[in-house]
A and B are shown apart, each in its own frame.
Chain A
Amino acid sequence: MKTLLEMSGVSVSFDGFRAINNLSFRIGEPELRAIIGPNGAGKTTFMDIITGKTRPDEGTVIYGEKSISLLKMSESQIAMAGVGRKFQKPTVFEAQTVRENLAMALKNKRGPVDVLLYRKTRRGAERIEEIAGIIGLSDQLPRIAGELSHGQKQWLEIGMLLAQDPRLLLVDEPAAGMTPAEREHTTDLLKRAAEKHAVVVVEHDMEFIRRLDCKVTVLCEGSVLAEGSLDHVTSNPQVIEVYLGR
């Protein structure tokens, strides 16, 4: 398993408050990794740093075989390099149809001229149908995304993530608003994606994490508190104190 992303010594402050504190993290490809931690631990901020939304005050973030630094790249360049993200609060384009949402995410050239001259292809349409099937929205394709339920929006966003075909998938609280059956389905999806790619999942649901059956990183106050198997970290007294013993 080769390293895909390596973060070291990263710190971020918001108005003097240290949200991320000397954080180091690495993930290989393929690998599935769960991140847990109390509210405000910095889990979402961690993803913001990788995707270029937040610039760290110090530290390095190295990505890929060529060890490029993500800190010098714009959000769109990072996304094009193969980093995809599902946001904590589902953010889909509510004024557009499910199909348009997926089509926009589909892996294709992203320049204005390419997009202007883009012609629908059979392969693209098939891929959209395929993803819609996976996320259970096959008969919702012509619907306006704003009309979907919260859970369906979660699915759509997962579908958009899959459509991008990224190498590193950052998935922030995918199970919120989902039924138990849907949660199980999500677990399967993430595990399948992690057969080839690197997948980072943030989730509070312990059952969900257990089913993922992977290495777990516990974040607290912006740094790593513990790392290892779920049983290993949940038996750590510090973890019990800050996270489990609530």
Chain B
Amino acid sequence: MSRQTFLTRNRSIFWFLLSLAVFTLIVTVLADGIGNGMISTSFVKTLGRTLCLMLVAVAMDVVWGYTGILSLGHMAFFGLGGYMIGMWLMYARTEIIVSESLRAAAVPPTPEEIHDAVGTQIFGVVGSSDFPLIWAFASSFWAQLALVVIVPGLLALIFGWLAFRSRVTGVYLSILTQAMTLALSLYLFQNDSGLRGNNGLSGLQNLPGLDSVPQSMVSIAFFWASAAALAAGYVLFAWVVSGKMGSVIRGIRDNEGRVRFLGYHVESYKLFVFTVTAVVAGLAGALYYPQAGIINPAEVAPIASIYLAVWVAIGGRGRLYGAALGAAFVSLLSSWFTGGGVPNIPLGFYTIQWTDWWLVLLGVSFVAVTLLAPKGIGGLFDLVTRRHPVPVSTTDFGPDKGARRTVEGEEEK
């Protein structure tokens, strides 16, 4: 009975998964790797990365749109996921290259010699050759994959525990999350952070041992993996926000004090949502950065997390598909504008160059959406389905006695 209600109550899951599957199929057929080559490999990578951004946006919507925690630090978790998988990618590939070049030597190299040579290769740019402690597991794929989950999860758990326990809420919490991601990026910028300072980790598009596989195939594989991750993440979060859990977290968003007096330990719920979404953000990052090829500390700069919030706001808070669409729409538009895809507008006295003016346009759109269409892109679907939308806020709705009316002046029964 309850399973049926989950799917019938959440028709949007079905439509989302169907659209995603159709989209994946179309891209596959048109891509360079298997299809007819209408879509270039680099654009397949852009689309694959976009799917990862959609996943982290869905997670952000659960934190912000459903639970009411405006986290401006979730891209830190995304970046950490990227760093964790990047460490293995870099280590394993450098190791292969180094052992190949050392094989020519008269005396076969010992494992220590290979390890040292890998260190020199990786850390030469920051004037070092020793492996820092945090690279202890870098040679193991499975260990680093576990760290993709553990590191963002643990950071979110500790940060969230400290912040929620002392009941920091609202704008103060947002500032704290900004401080967290800023601190992380400043730390990573240092050369002795052990993660190559501002050089970051690079060459991540080259998978160790798969040099013979062309990038066109690698890109389509990552595209599929990203689509699968988005589908799984979407279903997971749709399940979390449905039913009683959804009821409680939306209650926390609207009036956390009241939820407390019903006997729910609000801090545990916030911590749960914050940590689970951080882990998913880490996984999304681990899929994103191999498709980007490089990760550096600028990726976890405070602005990245603010963009994430803007995507979700433009897409429409409080509905998962809205957040996903917002991320896709804005990030693709952004790469179109900043990539020189849009012709400049000569005004005679001044030429509008979109590479400079895109941010202004984005800022204006953000303000416009917030003021004029608070339901965002997702709100367009209400026009199609004519569904009576669930109100997002609980502040006074109606003209009288706190009663909400659908039509102004409507008679009260």
Give A residues with C-beta under 8 Å from B: 51, 53, 74-77, 79-80, 85, 87, 90-91, 93-96, 100, 103-105, 110-112, 115-116, 118-120, 144, 146-150, 153, 160, 164, 177
B164 to chain A, nearest CB (A): 12
B161 to chain A, nearest CB (A): 14
- Cβ-based interface call for B263 (8 A): yes
Measured CA separation A110–B248 after assembly (Å): 10
Given contacts A76-B265, A110-B263, contact A95 B402 (CB under 8 A): no
B413 contact set on A, CB distance < 8 A: 149
- Cβ-based interface call for B127 (8 A): no
Which of B49-57, B86-94, B97-105, B392-400 interfaces with chain A? B392-400
Can you list 18 A-B pairs, Cβ within 8 angstroms, ordered by A?
Answer: A53-B261, A76-B260, A76-B263, A76-B266, A94-B404, A95-B393, A100-B247, A104-B244, A112-B269, A112-B272, A115-B244, A115-B264, A115-B269, A118-B245, A120-B5, A146-B397, A150-B403, A177-B401
> Are A149's CB and B401's CB within 8 A?
yes
Measured CA separation A177–B400 after assembly (Å): 12
How does the 8 Å CB contact mask read for B220-264 relative to A, with 1 for contact and 0 for none?
A: 000000000000000000001001110110110011011111111
- Besides A95-B250, A146-B391, 15 other A-B contacts (C-beta < 8 A): A74-B260, A76-B265, A80-B263, A90-B402, A94-B397, A94-B402, A95-B254, A96-B247, A110-B262, A112-B268, A118-B245, A120-B243, A146-B402, A146-B404, A149-B403
B397 contact set on A, CB distance < 8 A: 94, 146
A101 to chain B, nearest CB (A): 8
> Are A74's CB and B261's CB within 8 A?
no
Which one of B254, B260, B272 lies within 8 Å of A93 (CB-CB)? B254
B360 to chain A, nearest CB (A): 34
Enumerate the 3 nearest inter-chain pairs by beta-carbon distance, A residue then B residue, closest first.
Answer: A79-B263, A94-B394, A150-B401
Measured CA separation A112–B269 after assembly (Å): 6
B2 contact set on A, CB distance < 8 A: 119-120
> Are A115's CB and B261's CB within 8 A?
no
Closest to A51 in B: B261
- Cβ-based interface call for B361 (8 A): no
A149 contact set on B, CB distance < 8 A: 401, 403, 412-413
- Cβ-based interface call for B1 (8 A): yes
A152 to chain B, nearest CB (A): 9
B259 to chain A, nearest CB (A): 8
Closest to A160 in B: B262
A93 to chain B, nearest CB (A): 5
B261 contact set on A, CB distance < 8 A: 51, 53, 75-76, 79, 85
> Are A93's CB and B250's CB within 8 A?
yes
Closest to A146 in B: B404
A61 to chain B, nearest CB (A): 16
> Are B402's CB and A150's CB within 8 A?
yes
Closest to B258 in A: A91
A118 contact set on B, CB distance < 8 A: 243-245
> Are A79's CB and B255's CB within 8 A?
no
A15 to chain B, nearest CB (A): 20
A160 contact set on B, CB distance < 8 A: 262
> Are A164's CB and B262's CB within 8 A?
yes
Residue tally, chain B, CB below 8 Å to A: 40
B406 contact set on A, CB distance < 8 A: 147
Total cross-chain contacts (CB, 8 A): 110
> Are A79's CB and B272's CB within 8 A?
no
> Are A91's CB and B255's CB within 8 A?
yes
Which one of A94, A104, A119, A150 lies within 8 Å of B248 (CB-CB)? A104
> Are A79's CB and B260's CB within 8 A?
yes
Chain B residues 376-413 with CB under 8 Å of chain A are 390-394, 397, 401-406, 412-413
A73 to chain B, nearest CB (A): 11
Measured CA separation A2–B117 after assembly (Å): 79
B243 contact set on A, CB distance < 8 A: 118, 120
B290 to chain A, nearest CB (A): 32
A245 to chain B, nearest CB (A): 31
> Are A115's CB and B391's CB within 8 A?
no
Given contacts A104-B251, A120-B2, contact A95 B391 (CB under 8 A): yes
Closest to A157 in B: B258
Closest to B390 in A: A95
B247 to chain A, nearest CB (A): 5
B119 to chain A, nearest CB (A): 43
Closest to B404 in A: A146
Measured CA separation A111–B263 after assembly (Å): 9
Measured CA separation A116–B236 after assembly (Å): 11
Closest to B401 in A: A150
> Are A110's CB and B251's CB within 8 A?
no
A229 to chain B, nearest CB (A): 31
> Are B250's CB and A96's CB within 8 A?
yes
> Are B404's CB and A93's CB within 8 A?
no
Closest to A92 in B: B258
Measured CA separation A177–B257 after assembly (Å): 23
A87 to chain B, nearest CB (A): 8
B259 contact set on A, CB distance < 8 A: 104
Measured CA separation A153–B394 after assembly (Å): 13
> Are B391's CB and A104's CB within 8 A?
no
Closest to B405 in A: A147
A63 to chain B, nearest CB (A): 15
> Are A116's CB and B391's CB within 8 A?
no
Measured CA separation A103–B246 after assembly (Å): 12
Measured CA separation A105–B251 after assembly (Å): 11
Measured CA separation A91–B255 after assembly (Å): 9
Measured CA separation A147–B262 after assembly (Å): 22
Measured CA separation A118–B5 after assembly (Å): 14
> Are B401's CB and A76's CB within 8 A?
no
Which one of A91, A116, A147, A164 lies within 8 Å of B245 (CB-CB)? A116
> Are A110's CB and B392's CB within 8 A?
no
> Are A93's CB and B1's CB within 8 A?
no
